[in-house]
Amino acid sequence: MNARTRSALPAARRVVVKIGSSSLTRPDGHLDLDALRALVDVLAARRAAGGEVVVVTSGAIAAGIGPAGLTSRPRDLATMQACAMLGQGELVARYSEAFARHGIRVGQALLTAEDTVRRARYRNAQRSLEKLLALGVVPVVNENDAVTVDELRFGDNDRLAALVSHLVRADAMVLLTDVDGLHDAPPSRPGARRIGHVEDLADVAGVEVTARGSAVGTGGMVTKLESVRIATSAGVPVVLTAAGRVADALAGRDVGTFFAAGGRRTTARRLWIAHAARPEGRLHLDAGAARAVLGGRASLLPAGITRVEGDFEAGDPVELVAPDGTGVARGLVAYGSGEIPTLQGRSTYELRAELGEGYDREVVHRDDLVLEGRNGLSSPTTAS
């Protein structure tokens, strides 16, 4: 399959299709059932033709508005979460009904950013989604809005869809929204034109995009391009188009924007560290440690740390900073911020002798490290 042209789409065996709130929500904020059924009809046809589909769907909040007794979409986090808790069951029930008309079953997967980061949870999600697909079931995925706290929320489903595409090793991803692809200016502006093909995201770096999208969506075009960056850098080509054009997009026709796949596949954990994680603190390195980390093969040991900034726990994302103050990498830290000052600047031999086994481990393991590359963050050369 050629992941650099639209011919990838009809030939793609496994496709992740993400539909945003803007396409599933009526102007009054409630769920648009006609739009949902129209999408399902197209996806069922794809299944009938032998393809596999994974749906990443927003709409829980929209589906919860009516049952919550509200008339419009809430804006504060707690009420949005309450609506999502009310609406998620409703949303999946609507997908179940719509797919059942084609004799297809659906299974619900509610994921958090953490599920794509922690190795055990990632593997677990991967195994269960793989099994669901092997059973011939269509996974219907959303963020687990009820339990995700603010800092760790995706908020939008765009980046979640890219990480799911990586998780299920999708051959292509389709992002559906309320505009037919990336335009050379925000589409509300007269004269804005669709961009049909993007070979390299650097080619559209100058295009004006806004984070504020439709009235109900989250993240606008900014999070969509971030999602595209994650997917294409993981080797997954993307079509971004309007929900009503999903059949054309899957058939490889000239709709929306096609983004060619770029990089090699990397681990989902590294993708998340590079593109989704928000550093909770900073570790300042001495020159030797900065060189070793930048070399791409070394873990960060306590001896190379000179100073700690921020308040974080073991497992949190942190930034690694060179002596001149520039960020050189990001990684998941193995100790909390309270522990590191007693370890920093000391050899692992010394720490093991004084504090015992366990205190001689890396502060950031190389498998959990992503370098600041020329075009944003990149993976070290080591495979994991």
Ligand X SMILES: Nc1ncnc2c1ncn2[C@@H]1O[C@H](COP(=O)(O)OP(=O)(O)O)[C@@H](O)[C@H]1O
Ligand Y SMILES: N[C@@H](CCC(=O)OP(=O)(O)O)C(=O)O
174-199 as b/e: b if 16+ CB within 10 A: bbbbbbbbbbeebbeeeeeebbeebe
Instruction: Count Cβ atoms below 10 Å from residue 253 Cβ, excluding itself.
Output: 15
Copy the structure tokens of residue 241: 């188009």
d(CA 107, CA 100): 12
Contact stretch for ligand X (CB under 6 A) within 16-24, 65-73, 109-117, 286-294:
16-24
How would you list the strands of the sheet with 376-378, edge to edge? 305-310, 281-285, 317-321, 327-332, 369-373, 376-378
Q: Is 57 in the site for ligand X (CB under 6 A)?
A: no
Q: Is 32 in the site for ligand X (CB under 6 A)?
A: no
Contact stretch for ligand Y (CB under 6 A) within 29-37, 57-65, 349-357, 370-378:
57-65
Determine if residue 58 is labeled as part of a ligand binding site. yes
- Figure out which of the listed residues 7, 210, 342, 382 binds ligand X, where binding follows CB under 6 A: 210
- Closest contact distance (angstroms) between CB of 320 and ligand Y is 31
**3-state class (DSSP) for residue 147:** coil
Q: Is 218 in the site for ligand Y (CB under 6 A)?
A: yes
d(CA 328, CA 294): 7
Nearest to 203 by CA among 225, 188, 227: 225
Task: Supply φ then ψ for residue 317, to 5 degrees.
Answer: -75, 140
Residue for token pair 């681990």: 267
Copy the structure tokens of residue 200: 């390299």
- Figure out which of the listed residues 20, 139, 281, 331 binds ligand Y, where binding follows CB under 6 A: 20
Q: Is 213 in the site for ligand X (CB under 6 A)?
A: yes
CA 329 distance to own-chain centroid = 19
- Figure out which of the listed residues 16, 30, 31, 59 binds ligand Y, where binding follows CB under 6 A: 59
- Figure out which of the listed residues 6, 159, 183, 275 binds ligand X, where binding follows CB under 6 A: 183
Q: Is 2 in the site for ligand X (CB under 6 A)?
A: no
- Closest contact distance (angstroms) between CB of 181 and ligand Y is 16
CA atoms within 13 A of residue 211's CA, in its CB half-sphere: 3
In terms of CB distance, is 90 or 286 closer to ligand Y?
90
DSSP per position, 334-351: SS-TTTHHHHTT--HHHH
- Closest contact distance (angstroms) between CB of 310 and ligand X is 30
d(CA 294, CA 271): 18
Nearest to 111 by CA among 244, 236, 268: 268
Q: Is 156 in the site for ligand Y (CB under 6 A)?
A: yes
- Figure out which of the listed residues 29, 139, 181, 219 binds ligand Y, where binding follows CB under 6 A: 219
- Which one of ligand X, ligand Y, none is in contact with 142 (Cβ closer than 5 to 8 A by kind)? ligand Y
Determine if residue 219 is labeled as part of a ligand binding site. yes
- Figure out which of the listed residues 81, 142, 233, 378 binds ligand Y, where binding follows CB under 6 A: 142
In terms of CB distance, is 143 or 316 closer to ligand Y?
143
- Figure out which of the listed residues 221, 283, 322, 371 binds ligand X, where binding follows CB under 6 A: 221
Which residues of this protein are in contact with ligand Y, per CB under 6 A? 20-21, 58-61, 84, 142-143, 145, 156-158, 217-219
Binding-site positions read 18, 58, 145, 157, 177-178, 218-224
Which residues of this protein are in contact with ligand X, per CB under 6 A? 20-23, 156, 177-179, 182-183, 185-188, 207-210, 213-214, 217-221
Binding-site positions for ATP read 18, 177-178, 218-224
